[in-house]
Structure 1
């Protein structure tokens, strides 16, 4: 036992002790790979929808529920995972979680019924639930606060690269092997990344064990920065996740009548736009901060543009469908800025639970959006090819637009009231 403790202590490092290169290789890259794989498996159903529906005779509502189970599992795991991150550190927690993801991914590969695939997808979601939080916790520990927006932008870009890998690369893989073999290889990748984190990632000095303190969580939710950020960005973030991971590809296929090859290409371009957008958000945020513009104002401008793109979809601008799909992905990356805003506003000891509270709301909402979208489509009758009419898609996107408008209006009203009342402390 003492030998094991010595091994753990030998992994401990003090923040500021690692060089920039060491932080890149030992902290950013291993955790970014976990987030990469998490986003790949979160979005891969957008391309595999025809194969999955054929393998288990799924309806659109069942497909939406199956895919969104990933988000529900994410949400259910947030509180215990966030507490574990603050108590045991991201290295140990992430290794254990990725082992669970390995089993879930293998089970999905062998599933043949809706029930089996639903359970396996839920296990996958539980296993990957800590990937982004662990990465945020790790970079918040080892990276200077002033650099957090850019570094977290790079982290989101790694997730975008994973989502991009779920498009054309997956389609190319399917030309040589069945979709079940794809999940077998992804399960092996889960195990490999877990071992990489266990072997490479440093461990900060141990802190005193803490129980789940509901008062602390309530304090997080009551924090002004948290409430203002969530009120503006939360619903758009859930829309971005819920639609990006499944329905944008089906919209292109059923309303735009794009062939599956073209859908894969457009999804690939969209995910490339996510990478570019994530990096740009961090750079723009830091540029704006140097000019006295706070991050929440940058977020408000981005959310307004994101809603405008969705209005274009609702209006049925058919000649611009390909452009709108890419813009949806590009502009939607602005929603990731809320992690940096909240991380900067919270004490270091609470960054894990702050990310937890955000994720609990985001992934619960994404589950509702992704599953609910399929339910709205189901209000219309499909044609012989099982395609739903354009008006069904317009209605579903229209509901999402209406859900996002109150947050923008509330933010604008608060800012106008604050301007009339005089200077107030800025939200970081």
Structure 2
């Protein structure tokens, strides 16, 4: 491991944080644009779910080759290439005249920004010590929450002034700026031994070692349903719930999403502050998730029972109560050898964003299906969320059942 000097590490973090801010803004913007797009293109709930999920479909499709490329070529080179695809996706979305073009633009955007978190986390695995890795991960996610905050009220305010299409022209321009800053500010990736255990010549090829690892198998369902579902709520379904179940106006819904994302920003900032304290006292990711995630199940159950009475405050509490699951990302990276860090992170990210796609589209399909059975809109949403709650409970049960010798703290490798 070659740890960067403090000043260089801060500069590298800020460069990566800017790209991840734009990634998160792109990810969440459909929740604010949903009413406008639904009206202009006559979209149903399942269409909105597929459109929002298209981003994550493109995101998930790149994860397996991304991991190998990151291990081989490093964060800077890989992320520069991917951001060019994101620029193209923004332009396609901005000129779309039908649902197919909208979906194509979202898929390209998702694929293009799919390295914006995995690239820095791969770099941090080499450039930062373990405690700094946990803090940097939390603060990257805080930056992502800031991007999601920017996708709510600021976007809602700009819509009457500029329209939704010019917003994507501006995003494309900002991505080009990010590419220039990235090329200038991130260290090169040298093909050298990555730790005492495995170097590029001796590291296993492909993903078999990752898939077989007991810790990866233990946390993958949490990544799929709990982490992926949290993102699905934050970036899409909290908005339609507030409008169609709780009776919010579009502006009230955007305001609610704003405060949900502010809450997430504060939560991830707090995790970055307290993680070193937890680490020093032996409270690892597994213990924190085991203790914290049952709260998220209780909050989601309360939302299902409350129905129209559950508004933005309830969804903010739910999303915040899920944030301990984000500790799985650096834990998975540290559970495997350094030479496999890119593949370990990308494989787990594939589980997360496949989950986002499935949950976003699946809830839309479930809502439409329950409405087709002549259930009222409110009851359809509550039933769909109850199914989602059951999936989360099963994932948590699997995580707890596989405890013991599958703890991340026992498998950390240099």
TM value normalised by structure 1: 0.88
Structure 2 counterpart of 1:288, from 270, 278, 288:
278
Deviates more, 1:136-145 or 1:245-254: 136-145
The corresponding residue for 1:124 is: 109
Check 1:101–1:232 CA distance in 2 against 1; reply closer, same or farther (3 A cut): closer
- Give the C-alpha shift of residue 277 in structure 1: 1.2
Aligned residues: 403
Check 1:127–1:218 CA distance in 2 against 1; reply closer, same or farther (3 A cut): same
8 Å CA contact 1:77, 1:126 repeated in 2: yes
**3-state SS of 2:369 partner:** coil
- Give the C-alpha shift of residue 279 in structure 1: 2.3
Q: State how far apart, in whole Å, the 1-side matches of 2:409 and 2:15 are.
A: 37
- Give the C-alpha shift of residue 425 in structure 1: 7.4
Structure 1 counterpart of 2:208, from 193, 218, 226:
218
The corresponding residue for 1:145 is: 130
**3-state SS of 2:2 partner:** coil
**3-state SS of 1:175 partner:** helix
8 Å CA contact 2:223, 2:352 repeated in 1: no
TM value normalised by structure 2: 0.91
The corresponding residue for 2:382 is: 394
The corresponding residue for 2:254 is: 264
- Give the C-alpha shift of residue 337 in structure 1: 1.0
**3-state SS of 2:117 partner:** helix
The corresponding residue for 1:322 is: 312
The corresponding residue for 2:342 is: 352
Check 1:180–1:231 CA distance in 2 against 1; reply closer, same or farther (3 A cut): closer
Deviations 1:359-402 (A, max 9, x none): 111111111110111101102449xxxx9611111111101110
Structure 1 runs (4+) greater than 6 angstroms displaced: 208-211
5+ residue gaps, structure 1, are 1-13
**3-state SS of 1:316 partner:** helix
| Correspondences of 1:10-409 after superposition (within 5 Å) | 15-16=2-3, 18-25=4-11, 27-207=12-192, 216-316=206-306, 318-381=308-371, 389-409=377-397
8 Å CA contact 1:277, 1:334 repeated in 2: no
Deviations 1:35-84 (A, max 9, x none): 11111111100010011112222111111111101111111100111111
- Give the C-alpha shift of residue 307 in structure 1: 1.5
Q: State how far apart, in whole Å, the 1-side matches of 2:235 and 2:342 are.
A: 25
Q: State how far apart, in whole Å, the 2-side matches of 1:58 and 1:232 are.
A: 31
Q: State how far apart, in whole Å, the 2-side matches of 1:104 and 1:326 are.
A: 30
5+ residue gaps, structure 2, are 194-198
- Give the C-alpha shift of residue 105 in structure 1: 0.4
Check 1:275–1:388 CA distance in 2 against 1; reply closer, same or farther (3 A cut): farther
8 Å CA contact 1:35, 1:135 repeated in 2: no
